[in-house]
Amino acid sequence: MAPNALTAILVNVALFDGLSEAQIAEISRVGERVLFQEGAALATRGDPCDAAIVVVDGALECTEGVAAEAQLDANQTGCLIGEMAMFIEDYRHQATFVARTPTKALLLHRSAIRSCIDSDPALAEQFVANIAARLKQTCVELQDVETPLRPAEPAQSTPAAAEG
């Protein structure tokens, strides 16, 4: 895939929101291009990993993990799997993804991303801002779920007026 076509895919990845074209081009440059054959596991739940996976072309199925239960749509170009592997040592996949068709992907290894951050600290600032925004949104969504689950407060009874 041509570098410009890959950059066009990465521009639409939420984690990369706010990055400059040059920053995204550099991330594209350091990524490892791979092809997963039909039936191959891109990620296996519980396995250690040191790279995020960006789907460039192909179709996946999530067979195990929270994403499977939520019926995550990983069949779209630009889907990012295991993004925290770029930042966290000893990270393990949270779900299993299997290629339903031959699938082109870009592996973003932790060491390569850290190298990019060392060269351009503004990357880290934008990653933190994007992750924090998503965490904030997750908190709001959890509050929306929690509120209907809370037991109803018992009605406060008022003491009867004293009889005179």
Burial class (CB within 10 angstroms; exposed 0-12, middle 13-18, buried 19+) of 68: middle
Angle at 95 between CA 89 and CA 97, to 5 degrees: 115
Strand, coil or helix: 164: coil
- Residue 116 near residue 83, CB atoms below 8 Å: no
Distance from the Cα of residue 57 to its chain's centroid: 17
Rounded Cα gap, residues 46 and 94, in angstroms: 6
For residue 93, the domain's CATH number is 2.60.120.10
**Is pLDDT larger for residue 162 or for residue 58?**
58
19 domain-assigned? yes
What value does the mean pLDDT take over residues 96-122?
Answer: 95
Average pLDDT, the chain: 85
163 domain-assigned? no
50 domain-assigned? yes
Rounded Cα gap, residues 81 and 74, in angstroms: 8
pLDDT band of residue 16 (cuts 50, 70, 90) is very high
- Residue 52 near residue 85, CB atoms below 8 Å: yes
25 domain-assigned? yes
Range of the domain at 31: 3-148
75 domain-assigned? yes
What pLDDT, on the 0 to 100 scale, is given for residue 103?
94
156 domain-assigned? no
pLDDT of 161 strictly over 80: no
159 domain-assigned? no
The structural domain count of the chain equals 1
pLDDT of 68 strictly over 60: no
